Amino acid sequence: MSDNILIITGGTGGHVLPAINFFKYLKKQNKKVFILTDIRGSKYINHINQNKIFKIYSSHYSGNLFFKLIATIKLLFGFIQSIIIFVKLKPKNIISFGSYASFTPLLCFLMFKYFFRTSLYLHEQNSVVGKVNKIFLIFSTKIFMHFDKEYLNIKKYQNKIAVVGLPKNIEVNNFINIKNKNSSIINFLVFAGSQGSLDLLNIFEKIIKNLDKLSISKQIFFTIQAPLSKHLEIENLLEEHNYKFKIKNFYNNFEDILVQTDIALCRSGAGTINDLITYKIPAVICPLPSAKDNHQYVNAEILTNIKCAIIVDKNKINDDEIMLFIDKSLNDKNFNKKLKLSFDTIEIKNTNKLMWNYIKNEK
């Protein structure tokens, strides 16, 4: 029987990046591990040995009739590609990280699971179990959960749940660069994950126009991740108010930036929430409204419930509430101390090791 391990992922960075991190961990353990992803997800893994990567066509089903027709054709192609990959690898274990891109490969898993004696493990990054993971949960050995909470929509599968957190990049040593606490610079990060930050810019503009009311406003340095199409607009806004900043559409050294960050304006994808927890960053959060099952709002509640963040509705922006939170986070030492203690109540797990221990010890 093959010892091959197949990691299935795709779609957005929120699904792909944790999968890559677990792949790197298994590779370091000298395991025969491969990644199956869709074309969209493959843009995140160009740095990995291409012999370890399989790419398939995939698509979600939102859109008009023509889009659905194209999506169906892509899914059929992806299904055939998945069959070929499964026959070639005969994987012993499959770890799927959800998203629409995992649907056709998991159908192939059902076809071949008894022939190849394959075990399925699922990882759910969000605080609401995704549609694809929910469909295949009945066929899985375990479902690895990011957040430690009650999952009412899968309560009958409670015996399969293992809370492990989110796989982290083993190439990064967290907190090697300690922020200089005597620095007079306040580092303000504006980011929105892989799906862009257009909806955040209106909130950001309001924050900029109100920061003059804070005594430390001119000590703030902005690090901004935004689409190229919005760079000029943001640059003009910040230059008008005499703020120093750097802006890119993507940062390769993001962990280094997080270490130095004092406060953030962001979305609430699973990876973003995990970063805020890991680096203990208070945040003004604007959940992505179009997120499936409103999972970004539920993700954000992980932090708002312990008062480490506030949620902002883009249609009902309360300037006073936002500025009060920013002011207290940056100026109030007692409030800041409580923030750190609240973050400490959330355990940061050695996710890669936990997941592999479950898999290798499963009889």
Contact call for residues 116 and 92 (beta carbons, < 8 A): yes
**pLDDT for res 120:** 98
Provide the 3-class DSSP secondary structure of residue 302: helix
At 187, which helix (H) or strand (E)? strand 186-191
Name the residue ranges covered by the structural domains of the chain: 5-170+349-361, 186-331
Q: How many CA atoms lie within 13 A of 77 on its CB side?
A: 13
5-170+349-361 and 186-331 agree in CATH topology:
yes
Per-residue confidence (pLDDT) for residue 250, from 0 to 100: 81
pTM higher than 0.95: no
CA triplet 128, 132, 136: central angle to 5 degrees? Answer: 105
DSSP letter string, 63-113:
S-HHHHHHHHHHHHHHHHHHHHHHHHH--SEEEE--SGGGHHHHHHHHHHH
Inter-residue contact 276 to 166 (CB < 8 Å): no
Beta strands 220-225; 283-285: pairing state = unpaired
- Assign domain 186-331 to its CATH superfamily: Glycogen Phosphorylase B; (3.40.50.2000)
Write out the chain's pLDDT in tens, 363 residues: 689 999 999 988 889 999 999 999 999 999 999 999 999 888 888 777 778 999 999 988 878 888 889 989 999 999 999 999 999 999 999 999 998 999 999 999 999 999 999 999 999 999 889 899 999 999 999 999 999 888 877 889 999 999 999 999 887 655 544 555 556 789 999 986 555 566 788 889 889 989 888 877 568 999 998 888 888 989 999 999 999 999 998 887 788 899 999 999 999 988 899 999 999 999 999 988 766 777 899 999 999 999 999 999 877 778 889 999 999 998 898 998 999 999 999 988 999 999 999 999 875
> What CATH fold (topology level) applies to the domain 5-170+349-361?
Rossmann fold (3.40.50)
Q: How far is CA 75 from each of CA 23, 37, 58, 68, rounded to the nearest angstrom?
A: 25, 13, 5, 10
